[in-house]
Amino acid sequence: MLGRLLSRGRARSLARQLAGDPSAANYLSLAQSHVTAGRLEEVIRVCDEALGLHPDHAELRRMNDRALALGREDRIRELQRQIRQAPRPALFRELCEALLEAGKLA
């Protein structure tokens, strides 16, 4: 619990710093603090915003791609669990789409 409080405080501090200087390095620092705290949705949100301002920044692109892939993998596992419990056509369709996006054609 103490770790969460510290990470939230750090994220707030980094967000204030980012407001004053929207550099790629400050976006990376904020996104990394969200990674450390396990807030995947916030990592994606920060990276999307950052890439709008710094579209050619390789490290931002890499972090965004990794966060999206992790989110996709989480969704695939959740869909597989739901299908085992109560198979429905809509779940199979979403699973197939997610697997195609992840490049898992087999």
**27 Rama class: left (phi>0) / alpha (psi -120 to 50) / beta:** alpha
User: Residue 106: what pLDDT?
Assistant: 73
Residue 42 burial (10 A CB sphere; 0-12, 13-18, 19+): middle
Task: Look up residue 94 and give its two tokens.
Answer: 């979403």
**Phi, psi (deg, nearest 5) at residue 55:** -65, -20
> What is the CB neighbour count within 10 angstroms for residue 14?
20
Q: How confident is the model at residue 60 (pLDDT cuts 50, 70, 90)?
A: very high
Number of H helices, E strands in the chain: 5, 0
Q: How confident is the model at residue 7 (pLDDT cuts 50, 70, 90)?
A: low
Q: How confident is the model at residue 2 (pLDDT cuts 50, 70, 90)?
A: very low
Long-range contacts of 73-81 (CB under 8 A, 24+ apart): 73/102, 74/40, 76/102
- pTM summary value: 0.77
| Position 81, amino acid | R
